[in-house]
Structures are given as C-alpha cells and as structure tokens.
C-alpha cells in the first residue's frame, strides 16, 4: 500500500482513452485525489493502423484532449512493453502531454529511435527502469512485474495507492518456456493477492479461446523441422517485435545451412534493439539484401516484415515482383509465422494469392499447425491469473465490446465480486465504495494524414472518403469583365464510370451544358461573386451526376476572371 494517506474526498479512478472496445491503441489513465485536484499517471500510449475505410491514413492515434487539459497534473507515462499499440503514439502525442517517460531497457531503446526520428530525443526525459524495478510518482508506487508475451520485457504493473492496489497486466500470456526472457513471476502475483488486490485491469484478446495460448518452445520445434525440410528459396514472415520468433527462425535457418537476410526496416531496427539487451546472442551476422541475391536460393532464408499484407512492406513487394533484391517463384516457400489480426483478412488474402500465383508454396497456421502461437492469454490462463491475484474488481481491457463483456462474465464465474467493462472515455471509480462508471469524458481518434495529425472527421478526410465512394468532378469556366461567359465550361471526371470514350464524351457534354445553364440562371449580382457562381455550379453538377450515375461526387468548381 502507498505510504500516502487518503483524504476524505480522495478517489482512485481508471480511465481508458484507447484499447477498450477495440484491440490496439492502448491509452490508459489512473487518477488519484479529489475530483477538482487529481494527479494522473498514463499507462501506455499506442497507435492502431488504417484500413480500407481510412484511405491515405496508415497511423491512427487516440485523442488525448481530456488529459491534455490536465497535462500539468500528469506525473509520468509508464510503458508496459514495446509493441506499437502501446508505444507508437509517443512521438505524435508527447508534445501535447510533456510528461516524463518510464520504460525498461528494450522499450527505452526503441523509444529513443522513434523520438530521434521525430526530432524530439533531446526534449524528452526517459527513465530506464530495471526489470522488477519500482517507480514512485506522487501517490502512486508502481512495481514492475515480469510477464511473458510476444516481445522482450513485457511488464505488468502493481500500482499501489492509498485506496488500494491495482494490477494492470498489460499484454501477457503464461509461457513456461518463453525462450527469451524470464517466465511469468507467479510468486510476485501471488504475493500481491495475499496483500490484497483492489482491481485487476486485464487483457481480453483471447477470452473466447479455450485452453492455453501455447509456448514459444513448441513453435521452435515445428519451425526447425519445417525449415530443415524445405528446398529452394525460403521467406519467413513474422511480427518484427516477436524477438523470440525471430530468434527461432534465425537459429532454424542456420541449423539448416542457410544464411539469414533481414528484409524490412522494422526487422533491422528490432534486431538492433534485441542485441542492445543481450538477445540474439550467437546468431548472424546477417546478409545484406544485395549480397544475398548473389547466393544460391537454397543458401538463404529471408526474414521479412509484412505478414499482415501491409502494401509497402517487404513481403508485399516480393509478392508483386517489385522488390529490388528478393525474388521468389516456383519451387520456393513462404512461412507465415503470425496470426491474422482482425481487419487484415482481405490484405493478407491478396498477399498470399500473389505469392501463390508466382508458384510459391505457403505455410500458414491454418494449414500447418504449430508455426505460430498467440501472445495473449486464453481462458485457462485467465483463470489462473485470477486465482493468483484474487482481485475484488475485474476491469477487462484490450478487446472489442464482445471480448470485454465475455471477460466480465468469466470473472464473475470465477467469483470476482465486481466487474466493470468500460468503453473508451468511461471514467471508472475503483475506490472508495463500489466500482462504478461515474463520468464520460472526451475520447476518439486522430488520423496521421501525410504526416499531419488531423481530427477523425476532418474536412480533408471526409472529402477523400466521399470521393472514394462517389468519385469527383471538376468544372472550370471563364468570365469576362462584363460578367459574361467567355468560354464554354470544361468538366473533368475522376472515378466515375463510362461504357467507352464516346459515352464519356457525351456525358461530359451534358454536364458542361448543365454548368452553363446554372451560370446563365444567376442574376447580375450573383455573377459578380465567385463563391456564388461556384456554389451554383456545384449544385448543378451534383444534381446531374445523381441523374446520370446515382452518385453524389465531390465537385470542385473554378472561376477564372479574364
């Protein structure tokens, strides 16, 4: 328990602004004190990624508006591990929060790389915390608890306050043989349970999956046997952050007489981070891409980024035949040692179809069991965690709505007294008194659009999404000094259908006639105002386009004054 004493008005609250009702973009706040004077800590500051519904947007951030308004009361930002959905937003949002960062060495290494690229490294205070270390921030005493996950140095947080102890698990699983790093610190969690855990804020990703996630050691045997059996060129795709999987694939390749070539910037960056904390010992050195191309295919394994079908990642370029150094074809193989993240199914299917069309044989979790195990707890592991920690309150996070509600039901079945499943923006009072949602705060998403952070429903993005569905028209006309039409309007289309060139010419002529008619219908005063002319042209073309195509395209009108 924290040494600070609680006052009569003090409350302990939990507020997720990302990662609740979704998988990814984790952004959690803990507040302590009276309502008018709370002190805050931030746990994780992650991103999620764009998809077909966000054209042009690859990175999506949680909206920090609520806590930005209380930035002077933020005592620190504590990062549980180095996955992008837990640290990826730091370079984008730290300037709005300007609080010190706390992370273990592996995570700190990757943070520094991100902040260096963003030009912020000299501004940000980063405190490296040893594994099992402690951070004291005002009324919060935070002990790091070693867990296992699919990345080095995953940590749970035992957050002690004057009103009780919260166990914030972050991402985890129970792996008896994780290959990199220590096993889950069961003893520390049991000691917390003996001390008394007020609330456990816990990962819900695999709550619908029976049994256990499985061990990295099992994957090592399967991949070792598989890679040894392959002839010809071999590529393997995994999450670059899964250093244990990288280690397994590298060692399996070397045992089979193959040199390893890392393909993709994030794979190279992660290998450097791993070596900085003593991982990947005894492997390598890795081949450069150009050097690998000069060797026999059977002498190389390409370890690639892009397992989720990301269009600019290494594996997509290999599948399209556009990679400058890596070529795969008939007689070659590609191993997908990763899961399909929900929402990426179409992109992955396209990637795999493109590889198969080149004659590449695919090995996936679906058709070759054992090439991947999850980094998140299944139901049996969740039950064990609850048995160890014995919390009074269960607060599911890191899941879609159905995951959180199922997790809450599971916790009640496991005899947890209270369970609250918040949405992003729901402020949960953990103490004093019964757990309850007591407020709803601002939450939402920000888009990184061409390097600029914009609101989720910003005008530029709304227009782009509208144009993606409905197409676009541009119309230009010239007006002389007497406000008369100096030349016939010109109309161009983008993304609107036509049977052939003759049909398109006829349609454009009809739209140009509609624009001319709209101009002539204006009175003299309106013809003297460019904005009014543009509005009239836009209305006329939208009306005509709906008649022709049943679409309402974006219309850009341009008036030229002669």
Cite the residue boundaries of each domain of the chain with CATH code 3.60.15.10. 11-211+374-455
Average pLDDT over residues 428-440: 97
Q: Is the pLDDT of residue 3 over 70?
A: no
Cite the residue boundaries of each domain of the chain with CATH code 3.10.20.580. 471-561
Helix (H) or strand (E) holding 426: strand 426-431
- All residues at 6 or more sequence positions from 185 whose CB lies less than 8 Å from its CB, including other chains: 132, 145, 146, 147
Q: Which residue bears the tokens 């180095």? A: 82
Q: Is the pLDDT of residue 240 over 70?
A: yes
Give the tens place of pLDDT for each residue, 35-53: 999 999 999 999 998 877 7
**Weakest-pLDDT range from 32-46, 53-67, 227-241, 352-366:** 53-67
| Termini Cα distance of the chain | 78
* C-alpha to C-alpha distances, 180 to 108, 171, 528, nearest whole angstrom: 18, 16, 73
Minimal CA–CA distance to 13: which of 151, 268, 198, 150? 198
Percent of the chain with pLDDT over 70: 99
Minimal CA–CA distance to 554: which of 475, 479, 488? 475
Cite the residue boundaries of each domain of the chain with CATH code 3.40.50.10710. 216-363
pTM above 0.85? Answer: yes
Strand order in the sheet with 361-363: 259-263, 300-304, 234-237, 333-336, 361-363
Highest mean pLDDT among 68-82, 479-493, 537-551: 68-82
CA distance 485 to 192: 81
CA distance 106 to 180: 12
Average pLDDT over residues 4-27: 93
CATH code for the structural domain at 216-363: 3.40.50.10710
Q: Which residues pair with 88 in a beta bridge?
A: none
DSSP string, 96-127: HH---EEE-HHHHHHHHHHHHHTT-TTT--EE
Q: Is the pLDDT of residue 311 over 90?
A: no
pLDDT value of residue 499: 67
- Mean model confidence pLDDT for the chain: 94
Minimal CA–CA distance to 39: which of 85, 72, 65? 72
**Weakest-pLDDT range from 156-160, 326-330, 422-426, 457-461:** 457-461
CA distance 85 to 89: 8
pLDDT value of residue 458: 81
CATH number among 3.30.70.270, 3.90.870.10, 3.10.20.580, 3.50.50.60, domain 471-561: 3.10.20.580
Decide the pairing of beta strands 199-203 and 393-397: parallel
CATH code for the structural domain at 11-211+374-455: 3.60.15.10
| CA 226 to the chain's CA centroid | 30
pLDDT value of residue 2: 52
What are the structure tokens assigned to 106, written together?
A: 């592996």
- Backbone phi, psi, residue 8, to 5°: -65, -25
Average pLDDT over residues 504-510: 88
* C-alpha to C-alpha distances, 514 to 74, 504, 531, nearest whole angstrom: 58, 15, 18
Radius of gyration from C-alpha coordinates of the chain = 28
pLDDT value of residue 30: 98
Minimal CA–CA distance to 220: which of 163, 175, 257? 175
The sign of the dihedral angle between the CA atoms of 354, 355, 356, 358 is: positive
Ramachandran region, residue 390 (left: φ > 0; alpha: ψ -120 to 50; beta: rest): left
- Backbone phi, psi, residue 279, to 5°: -95, 170
* Three-state DSSP state, 243: helix
What are the structure tokens assigned to 39, written together?
A: 């002190």
């Amino acid at each position: 328990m924290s040494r600070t004493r609680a006052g009569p008005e003090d409350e302990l609250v939990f507020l997720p602004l990302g990662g609740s009702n979704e998988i990814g973009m984790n952004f959690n706040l803990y507040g302590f004190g009276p309502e008018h004077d709370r002190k805050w800590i931030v746990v994780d500051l992650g991103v999620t990624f764009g998809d077909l519904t966000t054209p042009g947007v690859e990175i999506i951030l949680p909206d920090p508006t609520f806590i930005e308004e209380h930035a002077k009361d933020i005592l620190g930002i504590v990062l549980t591990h180095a996955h992008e959905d837990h640290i990826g937003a730091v370079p984008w949002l730290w300037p709005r929060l300007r609080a010190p960062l706390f992370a273990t060495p592996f995570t700190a290494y990757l943070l520094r790389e991100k902040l260096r690229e963003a030009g912020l490294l000299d501004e940000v205070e980063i405190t490296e915390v040893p594994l099992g270390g402690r951070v004291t921030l005002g009324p919060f005493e935070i002990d790091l608890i070693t867990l296992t996950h699919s990345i080095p140095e995953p940590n749970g947080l035992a957050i002690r306050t004057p009103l009780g102890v919260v166990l914030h698990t972050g991402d985890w699983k129970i792996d008896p043989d994780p290959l990199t790093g220590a096993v889950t610190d069961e003893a520390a969690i049991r000691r917390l349970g003996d001390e008394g855990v007020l609330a456990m804020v816990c990962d819900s990703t695999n709550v619908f999956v029976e049994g256990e996630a499985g061990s990295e050691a099992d994957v090592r045997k399967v991949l070792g046997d598989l890679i040894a059996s392959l002839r010809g060129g071999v590529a393997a795709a995994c999450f670059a952050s899964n250093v244990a999987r990288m280690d397994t694939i590298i060692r399996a390749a070397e045992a089979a007489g193959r040199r390893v070539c890392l393909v993709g910037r994030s794979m190279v960056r992660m290998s450097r981070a791993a070596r900085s904390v003593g991982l990947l010992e005894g492997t390598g050195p890795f081949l450069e891409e150009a050097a690998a191309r000069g060797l026999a295919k059977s002498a190389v394994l390409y370890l690639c980024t892009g397992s989720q079908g990301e269009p600019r990642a290494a594996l997509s370029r290999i599948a399209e035949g556009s990679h400058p150094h890596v070529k795969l074809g008939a007689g070659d193989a590609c191993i997908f040692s990763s899961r399909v993240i929900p929402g990426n199914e179409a992109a992955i299917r396209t990637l795999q179809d493109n590889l198969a069309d080149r004659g590449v044989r695919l090995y996936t979790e679906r058709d070759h069991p054992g090439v991947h195990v999850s980094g998140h707890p299944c139901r049996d592991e969740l039950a064990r965690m609850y048995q160890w920690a014995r919390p009074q309150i269960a607060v599911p996070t890191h899941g879609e709505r159905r995951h959180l509600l199922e997790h809450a039901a599971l916790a009640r079945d496991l005899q947890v007294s209270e369970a609250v499943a918040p949405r992003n923006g729901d402020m949960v009072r953990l103490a004093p008194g019964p757990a309850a949602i007591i407020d709803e705060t601002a939450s939402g998403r920000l888009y990184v659009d061409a390097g600029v952070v914009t609101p989720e429903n910003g005008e530029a993005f709304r227009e782009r999404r509208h144009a993606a569905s409905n197409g676009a028209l541009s119309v230009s006309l010239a007006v002389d000094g007497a406000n008369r039409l100096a030349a016939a309007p010109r109309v161009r289309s983008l993304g609107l259908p036509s049977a052939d060139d003759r049909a398109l010419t006829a349609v454009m002529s009809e739209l140009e006639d509609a624009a001319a008619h709209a101009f002539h219908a204006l009175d003299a005063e309106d013809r003297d105002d460019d904005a009014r002319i543009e509005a009239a042209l836009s209305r006329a073309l939208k009306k005509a386009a709906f008649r022709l195509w049943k679409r309402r395209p974006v219309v850009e009108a341009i008036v030229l004054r002669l």
